[in-house]
Amino acid sequence: MAGMPAVLCTLPLPDPFAERISRTASLRVLGRIPGHADLCAALRDDPVDVLCPQLADVVDAAVLDAGMPRLRGVCVYAVGYNNVDVAAATERGIAVGHTPGALTDATADLTMALLLAVARRIVEGDAAMRAGVFRGWEPGYLLGMELRGALLGIVGFGRIGQAVARRARGFGMRLAAYGHRGVRVPDDLAGSVQIFEDFDGLLDESDVVSLHVPLTEQTRHLIGEAALRRMKPAAILINASRGPVIDERALVRALREGWIAGCGLDVYEDEPRMAPGLAACRNAVLAPHLGSATVGTRSAMAALTADNALAVLAGDLPVHCVNPEVAEVPR
């Protein structure tokens, strides 16, 4: 319809996104993750008011320029937004929205699933059963870590880190936290969390290190060779945040050479590809980015993405806006 607002998604989003958006705007779905040039062409050839990309869609200055002058908002179907050049969007008067909060519990559950799977060597045991090599109970067979009394070092103590702490406390784990901008402990966890101001100290003492930080220049390769060598040989590393927080090649060496006991990963440095050798590490539990993969969570994320897009179409900032200063930028 001529003059009708338009929204572009690269992949179809779950209900209730399409139904809500279609009341107000025309909705176009590419049905794939396009290449950079294809995304630029899609925006240039058929301009839209709001782009709703996935984390795998790189939304840089060139993509934003391709959408100009009509593009007013980029509403990411994720809590993370490191795929968007937020500074470039702000310069162009384009608001950026995301979906915080909706995936907290699902991601915390997945973190505990990875932790338990690594600690109790579930995937190794599953492989042994399927291969028919299990020969019966033995006192020393596939011994793992007991969680009660183990120290869980949480790096990034925001919504998800705190939700993980609450779950881990139920397993009798001791809790520690580190955040380079300081740590705020909510009332229900007060007195239960040891705060480390020194990152190396957390690595030295933790039996499990769980990563819950955004991807920034400060956190890229936060866990590299030096950090992995500081960890205990019996320690476990869990990452349900962003893949590039870990130097994956260094991690493969650590797993092969016994610097640490094991790892559980839901995200990867060059996703969907893994570093050479990682798939062969029996002490690695590897999930295919399932942190938010529950029916309820994905639907809630879709609803928040719709809220953000509809706000932009109404001339407002996204409900969950990462660059509110864009309101002061003339269009």
HSE-up of 147 (CA within 13 Å, CB side)?
Answer: 22
Residue type, 255: L
- The secondary structure of 58-102 as a DSSP string is -B-HHHHHHHTTT--EEE-SSS--TTB-HHHHHHTT-EEE---ST
Asked if 153 contacts 206 with a C-beta cutoff of 8 angstroms, the reply is: yes
Contacts (Cβ under 8 Å, ≥6 apart) of 218: 180
- Write out the E strands in 215-300: 236-239, 262-265, 284-286
Report residue 162 as tokens: 């705190």
Q: Which of 118, 168, 148 lies closest to 284 in space, CA to CA?
A: 118
Q: Is residue 3 exposed (0-12), middle (13-18) or buried (19+ Cβ within 10 Å)?
A: exposed
Q: Any bridge partners for residue 265, and if so which?
A: 239, 286
Q: Which residue has the tokens 């205990």?
A: 232
SS3 state at 267: coil
Report residue 202 as tokens: 């957390």
Report residue 187 as tokens: 């009332």
Whether 289 sits among the annotated catalytic residues: the reply is yes
Q: Which of 240, 237, 215 lies closest to 227 in space, CA to CA?
A: 237
Phi (first) and psi of residue 200, to 5 degrees? -60, -35
Give the active site residue among 242, 269, 298, 320: 242
Whether 184 sits among the annotated catalytic residues: the reply is no
Query: How far is Cα 59 from Cα 57, in angstroms, rounded to an integer?
Result: 6
Query: How far is Cα 48 from Cα 25, in angstroms, rounded to an integer?
Result: 10
Q: Any bridge partners for residue 178, and if so which?
A: 155
Catalytic residue ranges: 242, 271, 289
